[in-house]
Structure 1
Amino acid sequence: MDMNQYMGMFLEESREHLQTLNRCLLDLENDPNNLSVLDEIFRSAHTIKGMSATMGFTSIAELTHEMENILDLLRKAALKANNDIIDTLFQCVDTLEQLVESVANNSGADIEIKPLLTKLSVLAKGETLAGAAADTPAESGNTTIANFNESEMNVIKTAKGQGMVTYEVKVSLKEGTLLKSARAYMAMNALDELGDVIKSIPSVEELEKENFDLTFEAFVISDEEAEKIQQTLLAISEIDAVVVSPCQLPEQEKTVTPQAEQEKSLPGAGTEKKEKSPAAESGNTTTEKKIRGGQSVRVDIEKLDSLLNLVGELVINKTRLEQIGLTHKLTDLVETIEQMDRVTTDLQTVVMKVRMVPVGQVFNRFPRMVRDLSHELNKEVNLIVQGEETELDRTVIDEIGDPLVHLLRNAIDHGVEHPDERKSKGKNPVGEIRLIARHEGNNVIIVVEDDGKGINPDIIRQKAVEKGLISQAEADKLEPGEAVKMVFLPGFSTAATVTDISGRGVGMDAVKTKIESLGGMVDVETKINEGSKFKIRLPLTLAIIQALLVKVAEEIYAIPLGSIDSTINVAPNQIKTIQNQEVILLRGQIIPIVRLANVLNVPEPCQQEQDELFVVVVHMGEQRAGIIVDTLIGQQEIVIKSLGKLLAGIKVIAGATILGNGQVALILDVGSLMH
């Protein structure tokens, strides 16, 4: 039976169930006695096992089967969900994600599951992992045959004649270990003191370069007991488990062959080949259509993109027909176009709603990340998520994940203090981070807020001067609010040391760049010892928008309606100059003026001084500015078209659109204009 046709369905469903497992394991960690959460975890694991077994992915099936054993014991109250069990189940979910993505990418990656299977087996017996690691050699009569060269064999034989034993030592480091090479070096040194290390996998050079995951092996000749070797290595920090087993010599190979052959026939053997084959033949990683309960249809995102492009073309042609009807005064055509306008508007609305997905799809992956990172930093953090049902266009959803990761990591690392420091300030030792999404007009607001130590503007000024970003004189003039915004400058960081979490000065700059590329903006508010709030404003969609068409000389430009405050007429003498910046006074507020013709270098024909100037007042967040144009044409629905790679990076231009007469009009980037 050809399974390739089901590959997309398998990948989509597996990812959904893995997301459910992550979420439910977090709930189980908070409430170990919650049976309903346990049932949901068991159902998801069971579904993944069934699907993977059907598709022939035996590694995934075998791992989920062992997970089921533990989950079943938890449901029957034969076991209690302790830290060992929760951490191991999280490691299983991480490994399952790697296995699923390996299938999706057709990478054929060699992902080892045996250490996890061993852990699950130990936990199922009600034992602790640390104790089991020490007992393993005594209980296990299993031996290993290694490929040794001639000189290594001679050393082993000589040692055996002297009554010494050759051991295979498997060392597993804890997840999140920062200096893997240092831990490997300490382990190898300890083994050298207990005997003679004759071989390591990977080699010593590779261990020094950290070219290994979290496990490595060493073969050591020693007259010490296996238990002593294990206890010595387990005393080294960040070593998770140690398995020591006697290494069998090749001349005894025949006695082991039947067992080896039997192992090859067991589920899980040859997994890589079986898993690679279906993925290699399947060119598509998503299902084109899937009926679920007769209520919803899953559609390939590329088909939705194609549908949106067709609706966009329809809008352009509708505008063109309107132009023809008005130009030639064709009444019948104009009436028909009005009806067509209603239909295309409804069609556009439906397509937009189909493309809309809840931000919860992105938010769901953050509780696990916050949990792991807070444990790594020895902090206690509670993540509160609100508004995950708020919907955004799929293209925006796909892009906001990384900026939010940066902001959350920043909040945990720089914002929330250690529990002792929080107690000394009279705060709850458990820090709080809020991730909030909500609608505001045609925008979606996403807020990342923490109750930590806040951002000190004096430290920001000092660091900016140290890094040569501004002079001391400029720093002294900066208002506190403006100083804090310097965290978004390229290369800026307040971290004293560079870690794998922060300190390189690229995070906040990357956040700002990405958000602005999506037509949004990011702002920060902070109070010392009260916390910080990062506020992201994003457009609902990046495809079809309402815009105001304006004219400068002979050129037509479009300004997104969501950025426009109002349009006003001003007399030339109302424009004043303050510090070389033209401004006007509008309702008691001083607003800077931008002459669009000057910014865009549009050649203007010689003309007399105008009695009145047209000003479009635009806003980005709390800031406002006025754009002087020659003529206001009117509001129109426009389809945003990319300028392509050749013209990418032009700051003042956000894209282009095709007008009713076939002319191309550039869409202005209000944020860049205001800067």
Structure 2
Amino acid sequence: MSFDVDQDILQDFLIEAGEILELLSEQLVDLEQSPDDPDLLNAIFRGFHTVKGGAGFLQLTPLVSCCHVAENVFDILRKRQRTVTSELMDSVLSALDSVNEMFEEVRAGQMPSEADPALIRQLEFFATPESADEQAPVEEALVEEAPAEETTVFVEESKPAHKPEPPASAVQDSEGDITDAEFESLLDALQGQDGVAPSTSVTQPAAPSSSSANGNDDITEEEFEALLDQLHGSGSAPTEPAAKAPVTASSSSSGDLITDDEFEALLDQLHGGGSPTAPVEDKPAALTAKAPVAPAAPKPAQKAVAPVAKAPPAPAEEKKVAVKKEAAPAAETTVRVDTSRLDDIMNMVGELVLVRNRLVRLGGQSSDPEISKAVGNLDVVTADLQTSVMKTRMQPIKKVFGRFPRVVRDLSRTLRKEINLRLIGEDTDLDKNLVEALADPLIHLVRNAVDHGIEMPEVREERGKPRVGEVVLSAEQEGNHILLTISDDGAGMNPSTLRRKAVEKNILDQDAADRLTDGEAFNLIFAAGLSTKEQISDVSGRGVGMDVVKTKISQLNGIINVWSEEGKGSKIIIKVPLTLAIMPTLMVILGDQTFALPLVNVNEIFQLDISRANIVDGQEVLVIRNKTLPLFYLKEWLVPGADVSRNLKNAHVVVVSVGTQKVGFVVDQLVGQEEVVIKPLGDMLHGTPGMAGATITGDGRIALILDIPGMLKHYARSAH
């Protein structure tokens, strides 16, 4: 069922609530590690409360109900009436999942579905104190003894003796939110508590509030500002005349702020957390100034003073309030822009980069110093503009990292392991499209580290390790690239086991497997169908996850490397470009055609005597620094019918990396490094093996951008 609301308000809610829900997932996992952190409890409480308030404004009742009962759980936790347990966290995390599902329904324009009643009952159970039966008599005793201790201020009106008035807590529980008049009286009494001598009991008649005197429930603007001044200790006197309801000495005089409970009660009133308020006439006449619970003992340095009615404000104070009201509001520093507009701007900057490249090439051929100077200035300005526009599309990697504490927490409970996740470099920025594209590969890698890498706690103890394993997820910028590292201190990998599995799965024959170095054997984990897991589970074991990871990273023009040591752990390093829109490349020429090799794959360049190449298993190889380098002639693959010479004594060889493997490409000529804008291939060329796209070079010609992993997979007879 769809719903009709103001779209601007809905979008504001979706943005704010979306950010809060992302943060809540991380905060809830942190809470399990630090269950007594009051700041964390308050932050989670406020998160659910804020989402509830926004949903209530849009009348999203199911979302309000689920957030409200979750909020009650954390209210109990904040009051230390219940402790954080794994079962409680399971229920709260399930509630967050339910809220996220409702949120996605709202994003799709649908009224959210009701939460699972069983989940709501679980949360309601956890929203009650652990020893409610034992605490009830204590609370009643406190209510009865509070007047005798003479530490609580009451505001009462005359009432029939045969009908005793229930305490404020009971009124609020039975009726929902208190009315404005009761709220004002409550605040008056609260502010008086800090200034009353412990041995003095004060009873004062309840004067009609200005709101009721005026015939409505709203307080005036001046009264509200004065109330805020009192609550926050600004030192300014309230602006109401003395004839209005008497106000006790403000707590600001002693330097105290309102408590968290009072602040949250105020938020509930403002956001409509409870049932609608009833008219003042329907409420009982008498009202106690808060559930009469014994307040905290006065501070040693605090002097006992009797409550004093506020005098009319002095002219200087009135002037101060007026100046405060007339102050100009702070200007907004952010503007919300649709991502499609940023994409359009990025495309135009890309076109500008192509024109810049063309002008730089022409300027270098010109003998006019003024033209060269102007082209140089254009080059600098274009580079700065390109950098600035790229930054507008940047997002912190934390947007991806934030989901992993929950993933590791749930997996460790499922597998009965004890694992600590450490995140490093969460503020590292990269392109928005890359942030979204990296989510799935990283989830595969983290799940593998938890399932394959970290041992059971008993096994770790037997091996002299701590019971709690550690998974580290880090990010850092290196030039125009981002390095992502996923490491663990688990069992590591045995290269002999990987070789044996590769032979069993017919991925390699025995001779080829025996010739693999340990590093090359580790790279076998990316082969489709290979898994070291003996039993298939819902977590892993089918041998497809790592193949998906390698394919996705290759599509992002990235590379992936593996390091492992048996008994000590494993490390997987991913290197991806900062952005997908503009790519640094190495331009080469084959025949009369220009091609671009992504610079992220280029390792080094040699001029070699390739006539000394040897043949191993039908593959030409060169020995460089005592290591064999497979040699391929790009001209044979990309320029059909071209004459390829294999006896060059001074050939250009570009060494590229594919995973942990290095291969050499023989090219006719090197042009140099150039930043290019990737353009998609036309329909007739779309899907051509080894082609990632096209671009326009600095000399105005069209160059094809090579997809090196895809090209090797399609053309090479032996790319292992």
Report if aligned partners of 2:474, 2:484 keep a CA contact under 8 Å in 1: yes
Report if aligned partners of 2:588, 2:671 keep a CA contact under 8 Å in 1: yes
Give the 5 Å matches for 1:245-394: 294-322=332-360, 333-394=371-432
**1:570 partnered with 2:620:** no
Give the 5 Å matches for 1:204-223: none
In the TM superposition, residue 7 of structure 1 has moved relative to its aligned partner by: 2.5
| Distance 1:327-1:499 versus aligned 2 partners, 3 A rule | same
Report if aligned partners of 1:553, 1:603 keep a CA contact under 8 Å in 2: no
In the TM superposition, residue 368 of structure 1 has moved relative to its aligned partner by: 0.7
Supply the AA of the counterpart residue of 2:508. I
> What per-residue deviation string (whole Å, max 9, x for no partner) do you get for residues 412-448 of structure 1?
2222121122222222121111112122333222111
Equivalence for 1:40: 43
Report if aligned partners of 2:360, 2:379 keep a CA contact under 8 Å in 1: no
2:674 to 623, 629, 636: 636
Report if aligned partners of 2:60, 2:112 keep a CA contact under 8 Å in 1: no
| Structure 2 CA distance for aligned equivalents of residues 456 and 604 of structure 1 | 45
| Structure 1 CA distance for aligned equivalents of residues 521 and 331 of structure 2 | 55
Supply the AA of the counterpart residue of 1:337. V
Report if aligned partners of 1:444, 1:540 keep a CA contact under 8 Å in 2: yes
2:105 to 89, 102, 119: 102
Identical-pair percentage: 39
1:504 to 527, 542, 558: 542
Report if aligned partners of 1:63, 1:113 keep a CA contact under 8 Å in 2: no
| Distance 1:566-1:530 versus aligned 2 partners, 3 A rule | closer
| Distance 1:607-1:426 versus aligned 2 partners, 3 A rule | closer
Give the 5 Å matches for 1:106-121: 106=109, 110-121=113-124
In the TM superposition, residue 396 of structure 1 has moved relative to its aligned partner by: 1.2
In the TM superposition, residue 366 of structure 1 has moved relative to its aligned partner by: 0.4
| Structure 2 CA distance for aligned equivalents of residues 293 and 408 of structure 1 | 43
1:643 match: secondary structure: coil
Report if aligned partners of 2:62, 2:112 keep a CA contact under 8 Å in 1: no
Supply the AA of the counterpart residue of 2:578. L
1:373 match: secondary structure: helix
| Structure 1 CA distance for aligned equivalents of residues 32 and 334 of structure 2 | 33
1:545 match: secondary structure: strand
Equivalence for 1:441: 479
Report if aligned partners of 1:552, 1:602 keep a CA contact under 8 Å in 2: no
| Distance 1:327-1:525 versus aligned 2 partners, 3 A rule | closer
1:535 match: secondary structure: strand
Q: Normalization by structure 1: what TM-score? A: 0.70
Equivalence for 1:49: 52
| Distance 1:646-1:28 versus aligned 2 partners, 3 A rule | farther
In the TM superposition, residue 547 of structure 1 has moved relative to its aligned partner by: 2.4
| Distance 1:496-1:591 versus aligned 2 partners, 3 A rule | closer
2:90 to 78, 87, 92: 87
Equivalence for 1:175: none
In the TM superposition, residue 489 of structure 1 has moved relative to its aligned partner by: 1.3
In the TM superposition, residue 95 of structure 1 has moved relative to its aligned partner by: 0.7
Equivalence for 2:697: 659
> What per-residue deviation string (whole Å, max 9, x for no partner) do you get for residues 358-384 of structure 1?
111100100011101110111111111
Report if aligned partners of 2:69, 2:123 keep a CA contact under 8 Å in 1: yes
The range that moved more, 299-308 or 458-467, is 458-467
Bigger radius of gyration: 2
| Structure 2 CA distance for aligned equivalents of residues 390 and 438 of structure 1 | 6
Equivalence for 2:213: none
| Structure 2 CA distance for aligned equivalents of residues 495 and 395 of structure 1 | 33
| Structure 2 CA distance for aligned equivalents of residues 554 and 292 of structure 1 | 61
Equivalence for 1:452: 490
Report if aligned partners of 1:14, 1:48 keep a CA contact under 8 Å in 2: yes
| Structure 1 CA distance for aligned equivalents of residues 101 and 421 of structure 2 | 25
Equivalence for 1:60: 63
Report if aligned partners of 1:21, 1:41 keep a CA contact under 8 Å in 2: yes
Equivalence for 1:400: 438
Report if aligned partners of 1:619, 1:625 keep a CA contact under 8 Å in 2: yes
| Distance 1:292-1:126 versus aligned 2 partners, 3 A rule | farther
| Distance 1:438-1:328 versus aligned 2 partners, 3 A rule | closer
**1:486 partnered with 2:486:** no
In the TM superposition, residue 587 of structure 1 has moved relative to its aligned partner by: 5.8
| Structure 2 CA distance for aligned equivalents of residues 646 and 15 of structure 1 | 42
In the TM superposition, residue 554 of structure 1 has moved relative to its aligned partner by: 1.0
1:299 match: secondary structure: coil
> What per-residue deviation string (whole Å, max 9, x for no partner) do you get for residues 489-518 of structure 1?
112223333322112221111111111111
Q: Structure 2: any 5+ residue segments left out of the alignment? A: 133-273, 276-328, 713-718
In the TM superposition, residue 646 of structure 1 has moved relative to its aligned partner by: 5.7
> What per-residue deviation string (whole Å, max 9, x for no partner) do you get for residues 136-176 of structure 1?
xxxxxxxxxxxxxxxxxxxxxxxxxxxxxxxxxxxxxxxxx
Report if aligned partners of 2:610, 2:622 keep a CA contact under 8 Å in 1: no
Report if aligned partners of 1:553, 1:605 keep a CA contact under 8 Å in 2: no
Equivalence for 2:507: 469
Supply the AA of the counterpart residue of 2:335. V
Q: Structure 1: any 5+ residue segments left out of the alignment? A: 130-265, 268-290
Report if aligned partners of 1:443, 1:540 keep a CA contact under 8 Å in 2: yes
| Structure 2 CA distance for aligned equivalents of residues 29 and 326 of structure 1 | 63
The range that moved more, 533-542 or 396-405, is 533-542
In the TM superposition, residue 35 of structure 1 has moved relative to its aligned partner by: 0.3
The range that moved more, 444-453 or 637-646, is 637-646
Equivalence for 1:423: 461
2:91 match: secondary structure: helix
1:669 to 684, 701, 707: 707
The range that moved more, 442-451 or 102-111, is 102-111
| Distance 1:508-1:580 versus aligned 2 partners, 3 A rule | same
Equivalence for 1:77: 80
Give the 5 Å matches for 1:500-649: 500-571=538-609, 573=611, 575-584=613-622, 586=624, 590-604=628-642, 612-620=650-658, 623-643=661-681, 647-649=685-687
The range that moved more, 582-591 or 523-532, is 582-591
In the TM superposition, residue 673 of structure 1 has moved relative to its aligned partner by: 5.5
In the TM superposition, residue 406 of structure 1 has moved relative to its aligned partner by: 0.9
| Structure 2 CA distance for aligned equivalents of residues 51 and 120 of structure 1 | 21
Report if aligned partners of 1:407, 1:508 keep a CA contact under 8 Å in 2: yes
Report if aligned partners of 2:611, 2:649 keep a CA contact under 8 Å in 1: no
| Structure 1 CA distance for aligned equivalents of residues 643 and 394 of structure 2 | 46
In the TM superposition, residue 338 of structure 1 has moved relative to its aligned partner by: 2.5
1:23 to 23, 26, 29: 26
| Distance 1:471-1:107 versus aligned 2 partners, 3 A rule | farther
In the TM superposition, residue 354 of structure 1 has moved relative to its aligned partner by: 1.8
In the TM superposition, residue 624 of structure 1 has moved relative to its aligned partner by: 3.9
| Structure 1 CA distance for aligned equivalents of residues 495 and 93 of structure 2 | 39
| Structure 2 CA distance for aligned equivalents of residues 28 and 495 of structure 1 | 33
Supply the AA of the counterpart residue of 1:308. M
| Structure 2 CA distance for aligned equivalents of residues 571 and 459 of structure 1 | 38
2:693 match: secondary structure: strand
1:496 match: secondary structure: coil
- RMSD value, Cα: 3.1
> What per-residue deviation string (whole Å, max 9, x for no partner) do you get for residues 330-364 of structure 1?
76554433322221111001111222221111001
1:348 match: secondary structure: helix
In the TM superposition, residue 453 of structure 1 has moved relative to its aligned partner by: 1.8
Report if aligned partners of 1:66, 1:117 keep a CA contact under 8 Å in 2: yes
Give the 5 Å matches for 1:223-234: none
Supply the AA of the counterpart residue of 2:467. P
Q: Normalization by structure 2: what TM-score? A: 0.66
